Amino acid sequence: MHTMATVLSLALEHPVLAALAVPVVLLILSTVRSYYRLSHLPGPFLARFTNIPRFSWVLSNNAHNIHIALHRRYGPIVRFGPNMVSIGDPNEISQIYGFKKPWLKSDFYHALLMKPSGKPVPGIFAAQDEEIHRTLKRPVSGAYSMSTLVSFESYVDSTMDVFCTQLDARFAHDSKICDLGKWLQMFAFDVIGELTFSKRLGFLETGEDVNGVMGSIWGAFKQTSLATQMPWLDFVWINNPIRRFLRGNGVSPGGAFAMARVQERRDLHKSTDKNDWHINERDFLSRFLEIAAKENVPPYALSAWASSNITAGSDTTGIYLRTLFHSLLTHPHTLSKLVVELDAAASAAALSPLASWSQTRSLPYLDACIKEAGRLHPPFGLPYERVVPAPGATVCGKWLPAGTVVGMSAWVAHRDKALYGEDCDVWNPERWLSGGEEVRRARENGLLTFGAGTRSCMGKHIAYLEMYKVVATLLRRFEFDLVPPKEGGHWKVENRWFVMQEGLLVRLRERKTSASQAEKE
């Protein structure tokens, strides 16, 4: 009683000091409560009190490897922050990302919202509100199905033809060094332009990053990836009104390109008084415009759909392709095995010079290589965060109270030794051809390459359509040699949500028994 009286007396005598002390006391109480709430979980000491450690991991560009090391030290469940828990056991995928009762996305995704008009708008990928997500996804989901995408194959073929022609003309005859990583990403961007707008962005013809689209998207992710670890940073640092004003509330080059194509198509429809909605083989924009005209969708839906294809539909494929080619070129025995399979299929008239989807899907070693590339180097390098629903849940044998943020990183889950073997840190396509059907199915179910459940990436079928076709086509037409480090071939990986690579430098030449020779004959 005496102590309380003393505190009250001091508060009355020094009201300003008392007012300043209140938030400090509240902060201490909140920190103590947060610490004890998840104190039964292992993890780095500082991560129990602050998100600064996981912010610094992303800042280092090496968060994926740090996450793997932490899980190997502490086990399948690790405390990454005061209220954030990382899960490494693939057996928990169905609970956290299940179809029946999906757990809601955390504030991690607010920083990843698209900004086609300068301000954030909901998108299919980053929307936290499940109703908004359903509203945006339901009308367009059919356009992203594999059965529908096959009708887009001619768009991919036309871009593949340009790609091969440019590689041949620029690099195949004079031993000039080719930045294959850059060209694979430019190919992916131009494919998305064709699929979405029937118009390439022009990367392949110019051999350049047109209007800085690729660079601007990567620059944006370098900032927003940091804000995902401390979501309040998006409001006070990245996307506050002052910064929006200073950048002119402008759109990114990718968003600008998308919205310019939308306006061109609208003007065309007005001037000709007709559309192509009755045609099956038509691009995404035509389908988007029809949906926007016939269905009750939010006013921002069209810009969100069009912009998301450009800003999110190319980098993932570029990363995947770079991983695949780098892995094959650094493991020549697997490259030889794949080329033998492709040549055998071509000899049996089961593979065209410009490979088709139906032909490549029947090639088991190509399929194994593509699965292994997505396992070894998934495009997304941070945990897919969700919020534990009421009343709480048991994950990896530990009770997590409602409101706890949990997430699984594909990089961690894909290195589960119990599922993928003791050699899970290295390239081994053969793992997808051994172990029996049950084991292979379990390994496939453990993949988080494009997420899982209802919120998995809708564009994954586009990526697979491109990859199966272009890998088979390029390896039959060209031979590739890696440029050694002494000549500049330094492989570099940076993780800022997308796990980007640089340094895939090659010299290429036309194969004497290649698809291009077959075309000439």
Asked whether residue 380 carries a pLDDT value surpassing 90, the answer given is: yes
Asked whether residue 313 carries a pLDDT value surpassing 50, the answer given is: yes
Asked whether residue 89 carries a pLDDT value surpassing 70, the answer given is: yes
pLDDT digits (tens, 9 = 90+) for 275-303: 777 666 788 998 998 898 888 898 888 88
Burial 42-67 (b: 16+ CB within 10 A, else e): ebbeebbeebebbbebbeebbbbebb
Asked whether residue 101 carries a pLDDT value surpassing 70, the answer given is: yes
Give me the pLDDT at residue 9, please: 64
CA 90 to chain centroid, in Å, comes to 19
CA–CA separation, 507 vs 479, rounded Å? 8
What is the rounded average pLDDT for all residues in the chain? 88
For 240, phi and psi rounded to 5 degrees?
-75, 160
Give me the pLDDT at residue 302, please: 87
Give me the pLDDT at residue 521, please: 41
Bond preceding residue 44 cis, omega within 30 of 0:
no
Token output for 325? 């080619």
Give me the pLDDT at residue 334, please: 98
Helix (H) or strand (E) holding 358: helix 357-360
CA–CA separation, 281 vs 284, rounded Å? 10
Q: Which residue in 189, 184, 194 sits closest to 157, CA to CA?
A: 194
| Bridge partners of residue 494, in order along the sequence | 500
CA–CA separation, 181 vs 500, rounded Å? 10
CA–CA separation, 239 vs 333, rounded Å? 49
Give me the pLDDT at residue 520, please: 44
Between vectors from CA 247 to CA 243 and to CA 250, what angle results, nearest 5°? 120
Token output for 236? 């006070």
Give me the pLDDT at residue 15, please: 65
Asked whether residue 10 carries a pLDDT value surpassing 60, the answer given is: no
For 398, phi and psi rounded to 5 degrees?
-115, 140
Asked whether residue 513 carries a pLDDT value surpassing 90, the answer given is: no
Asked whether residue 82 carries a pLDDT value surpassing 70, the answer given is: yes
Asked whether residue 7 carries a pLDDT value surpassing 80, the answer given is: no
Q: Where are the beta strands (DSSP E) in 396-496?
A: 398-401, 405-408, 478-482, 492-496
Q: pLDDT class for 27, splitting at 50, 70, 90?
A: very low
Q: Beta strand 84-87 with 405-408: parallel, antiparallel or unpaired?
A: parallel
Give me the pLDDT at residue 26, please: 44
pLDDT digits (tens, 9 = 90+) for 114-173: 765 556 777 888 888 888 888 899 999 988 888 888 888 998 999 999 999 999 999 999
- Which residue would you say has higher pLDDT here, 275 or 318? 318
Q: How far is CA 321 from CA 63, 181, 372, in A?
A: 21, 8, 12
- Which residue would you say has higher pLDDT here, 236 or 440? 440
Token output for 515? 């698809």
Q: What pTM did the predictor assign?
A: 0.90
Asked whether residue 8 carries a pLDDT value surpassing 70, the answer given is: no
DSSP 3-state of 443 = helix
DSSP 3-state of 521 = coil
Give me the pLDDT at residue 16, please: 61
Token output for 448? 């988080």
- In order of start, what are the domains of the chain with their CATH numbers? 37-112+380-448 (no CATH), 113-379+449-520 (1.10.630.10)
Asked whether residue 21 carries a pLDDT value surpassing 60, the answer given is: no
Mean pLDDT along residues 15-42: 63
Q: 457 a known binding residue?
A: yes
CB-based contacts of 395-399 (< 8 A; 24+ apart in sequence)? 395/77, 395/85, 395/87, 395/92, 395/95, 395/96, 396/75, 396/76, 396/77, 396/87, 396/89, 396/92, 397/77, 398/40, 398/41, 398/77, 399/40
